[in-house]
Chain A
Amino acid sequence: MVQAQHLRKTYGPTRVLDDVSLTLSAGESVTLLGPNGTGKTTLLRILATLQRPTSGSLSIAGVDALKAPEAVRGAVDMVGHGSWVYEDLTAIENLRFWTTLGGHDAGRARLKGALESVELDTVADQRARTFSAGMKRRLALARVLLGRARLLLLDEPFTGLDRAGRKWLAEFLLAFKAQGGAVIVATHSFDAGAGVADRVAILAGGRIVLDRPAASLGLDDLRRLYDELAAGPVIAS
C-alpha cells in the first residue's frame, strides 16, 4: 500500500529526515511516535504528496508518488493541524464543498449521514466558526468518510480529545482499517497512540529507530524504549 524508501528531507544545511523507510499494507495501522520537532509532520506531508523529499522514493497504492502525485491524491487523505474547515460555512456546506471538489459529490442525505457518524448532525446547519477544535476535527473525519481515501494520515489527532473522544477516534480508525484502509498516526502522546496501532515506529534524529508490531511490546517496554531512543542524538542544524 505504502512503500517509502530512504526518504531524506533537507532544508539547506538542516537535515530533518535522514534515510527514512516505511512500509504499510492495506488494513494496517502504524503509530509514529516521536517528540515534537523531529520531523513527524514533515514525513506525513511528504507521504501526503504535499511536499517533495530531497531524495528517496515513495509509492502509494502501487503508483510512484513522486513522478505522478496527482494520480495518488485521490487515495490519500490527511487530518493535520489545519482541519480544512471554512469558518463562515456551515458543517454541511463544508462537506458539500470538499466532496464536490474531490470529485465525489454527495447529496444532502449522504452528507447528513456522515455528520451523524461523527455525531455532528445536530449542528449540521451551524457555522463552523462556533465549533470547538474537537468538533472541527470530527468534521474533518466526516469528510474522510465521504471520500475514497485508502490511506489516512493523522497528525496529532488526540490533542484536545478527552477519554471518550479518544475511544471514539480509535473506533473510527478500526472501522477505516476494516474497510481496507491504511492508517498512519503521528503523535508524541504514546499512551493514546499505542492503543490504536498494529505497529509502532519511533522517529528520532530524522530516522526510524524502531518499527515493531504493537503486540510484541508491553506498554512499559515501549515507554522505556521511547525515552531512551527519543533522547538520543538529533541530527539537525
Chain B
Amino acid sequence: MSRRARMLFALVLAPVMSVALMGKAFAEDAQRWAVNMPKGVTPVSNAIYDIHMIIFWICVVIGIGVFAVMFYSMFAHRKSKGAVAANFHENTTAEIVWTVIPALLLIVMAIPATSALLDVYDTSEAEMDIKITGYQWKWQYEYLGEDVAYMSELATPEEEIYNTAPKSQYYLQEVSQALVIPAKTKVRFLITAKDVIHSWWVPDLGVKKDAIPGLVNETWAFVEEPGIYRGECAELCGKGHAFMPIVINVLEKEEYKAWIDKKKAEVAAVRELAKKTFTLDELMAQGEAAYNRSCAACHMGNGEGIPGVFPGLKGSAIATGPVAGHLDIVVHGKAGTAMQAFGGQLSEVDLAAIITYERNAWGNATGDVVQPIDVLKFKQGQ
C-alpha cells in the first residue's frame, strides 16, 4: 500500500521526473514499452502487420491535413487578434470533393485488406490438425489421429498472483504443458469450447478465433521460426478469463517427430501407472498439486469456495460423504453448473489423488484412500 502511495505521489506531483524516468526505462527495455503490434512469425501475421501499417499511415496523413487547417484557423482567425468572421456557410464543390476523396481512399484501403483477409481464411491443404477446446479456465489440445490429448493450465502459482512471492519473468504467461507444433508446416486448428465462449489468441501467429460451445471454428498457422510464443484468452469467460494463457512451442520438424513419439509413450505409461497402489502420503502430495492446478480456481486453495457462486469443499456433504458420490461428481461433473466432468480431462492417478486430497485436507479427516484403480473401475461402470 505505502509503496503504491509513494509511487502515486511521486508520479502525480512530479510528471517531469516521471518523463525522465520513462526515457531511461525506454532505453533499457524495449519490450516493456512496446507501442505497436508484433510482426509475428507467420505469413498471415506479416500480412496483417503490413495492412495495419498502411491504414495507420493513411490515417496519420489525413489527420495531419485536417488538424493543420484547424490549428491554422485557431491561430490565424482568433478574435483576440482582431479576426473578423467571414459569412460563407456552404460550398457545394468543396463538399463534393471531400465526399469523393475519402471514398476513393477507402477503395485504396479495401484492396489490400481484401487480399489479406483471403489469406487468413485459406485453410486448405493443411498437413496436420489440432483440436483446441476452451474450458473454464484452461485449454485442451488434441492431436487428431494421434491419440495424444492434454490440458494446458496456468502454471503461475497463486502466491505470485496474490503478491506473497516475487513475480517470475513469464508471470501469467506460463502453462503446465505448452502446445507443441512443428515449424514450416501448415497446421489447422479446430477450435471449440466446452462451457462458455472463449477466444484463442496468439499475436505472433496472427491467429484469433472464438471458441464457441456446440460449434467448431477453424483457423490455421504456418510458423516459419521455431521458438516459444505466448498468447491469451480474448473473450470474457468468467473469473479466470485473465488466467488461461496459451504457450506454443514450435519445434523443427524432426524434433517435433521425436516429441510426439515420446508423448505417445507417456500416454501408455500413465495408463500403466493407474494400476499401481499408492500410499496416503503420496496421494496427498500429488493431490495437493493437482488440486491447485485444476480445482482451486473455483473451490479456492483453502477449500472454502466462493459463497453463492462456487460451493466450498471444507466439511461439505460430498467430500465427507460416501466415496461413490464424490467419484461421481468429480468424474462425471454436474449438469447445469460450472462443475465439469473431469473424467476425460485428468489421468486416473490425478483423479484419485485429488479425491483423496479433498477427503483429507482442511480438516476433512475421513481417512479414505482412493486408488487410481478405483477410479478406473468407476469409470468403466463397475
Partners in one complex: no
Chain A residues with a Cβ under 8 A of chain B:
none
Chain B residues with a Cβ under 8 A of chain A:
none
